[in-house]
Amino acid sequence: MAESGTEGISPSAMDAEFPPKFFSAFVEWRRHCALAACAAQSATVLRGFIHARFDGFCRRYAPFAASGARHPLTPPPADCWHLFETHLAVDQTRAGKRYKQWLFEAARAGEGSPAARLAGGATLLLRDVVRAWLAREAPEPRTQSLQAPLGAEATGDALTLEELLPDESDPADEAARRELEALAAEEAARLWRTLDRRDRLLLAARERGLRLDDEALARAAGIGKSALYARYRALLERLAKQLRHNYPREDPAALSALVRLLIRDLGRRAEKIFPEKSRVATFYTVKGQRAPRRDREKSHENKIAPPAAGKGR
């Protein structure tokens, strides 16, 4: 039985110019009321048709140089169909008729094949959909995308406007940053000799993001956890005071940045002399020094091989 709204519509030989099952896909969509309920082949045919016409209208109303690529403002096929289907289901003609009903009624009359009449009506309705879409999404007139290629030829090697704009970073700032890093490296090499084992231990711990209230760190440093904070703060103040003395005319902001870079460089130096292990206690063991007795005993136990199978003890 023919579905209401499709009576009087039947395919003809003239429909051969359209994709296979083009006419039947429209009828199936009309019968199921939603493309999601249609067969996969029918959905592919209708989405492809609407997507191609959508892209054509975008090129007409918002010219785009590259002919081999999709228009930047053309949505994916599924989104194009969603916009089209929503317009037909929600909007009405002046007579109060849904556009979906109007589409199939118009396909029963007029000249040409049924598929041609369906395609013509759908294209006419889609034109309004694309116009509304571009009114929301298209840039203002006489504006140009920063990523659009410059010149008439839109090739992959074409220069874009974005590449001609100045970078956000100031070359003067970059030069100043490199100068501060060089000064910090020099100061780190000189001040490293003034640091004792506890200072280097604290710097290595902070470089690895460890807390200063760690019990293993306190044991390795030989002082209480509360004293670790005072020791580390005194170290930072001593380093900052030394830099202020060496660079009395330096801008406060630059001097603050120099202190941070110095601490970073010293922390990286200190980290190299404290080997990274899975156990926290052995992490704080300086190369060339013996680990605590308890750790040595556990390490010795791990090295004892189990007896071979079949042999007595």
- Which tokens is 113 given? 């094949």
Residue type, 307: P
Q: Which one is predicted more confidently, 287 or 253?
A: 253
Lowest mean pLDDT among 100-114, 170-184, 253-267, 286-300: 286-300
Average pLDDT value for residue range 61-72: 77
Backbone φ and ψ for 143, nearest 5 degrees, come out as: -100, 155
Res. 80 pLDDT band, cuts 50 70 90: very high
Contact 114, 9 (CB under 8 A): yes
239 CB-near residues (< 8 Å, 6+ apart): 191, 259, 262, 263, 266
Give the number of other Cβ atoms within 10 Å of residue 42's Cβ: 20
Q: What is the pTM of this model?
A: 0.41
pLDDT at 151: 58
pLDDT at 276: 57
Q: Distance (Å, rounded) from C-alpha 138 to C-alpha 313?
A: 85
Q: What is the DSSP letter of 168?
A: S
| Domain spans, the chain | 13-141, 171-289
Contact 292, 219 (CB under 8 A): yes
User: How many CA atoms lie within 13 Å of 162's alpha carbon, on the beta-carbon side?
Assistant: 6
To the nearest 10°, report the CA torsion of 179, 181, 182, 186: 140
Burial category of 258 from C-beta neighbours within 10 Å (exposed 0-12, middle 13-18, buried 19 and up) = buried
Compute the C-alpha angle 107/110/114, nearest 5°: 40
- As a whole number of Å, the end-to-end CA separation of the chain is 92
Lowest mean pLDDT among 99-108, 146-155, 253-262: 146-155
Q: Distance (Å, rounded) from C-alpha 24 to C-alpha 39?
A: 11
Q: Distance (Å, rounded) from C-alpha 164 to C-alpha 150?
A: 10
Q: Which one is predicted more confidently, 163 or 231?
A: 231
- Which tokens is 80 given? 């194009």
- Which tokens is 28 given? 């199936």
Region for residue 74 given its phi and psi (left: phi exceeds 0; alpha: psi -120 to 50; beta: otherwise): beta
pLDDT at 1: 36
Backbone φ and ψ for 295, nearest 5 degrees, come out as: -70, -35
- Which tokens is 297 given? 């005993």
Please determine, for residue 165, whether its predicted confidence score (pLDDT) is greater than 50.
yes
Tell me if residue 101 falls in helix, strand or coil: helix
Average pLDDT value for residue range 205-228: 83
Residues pairing with 92 in the sheet: 98
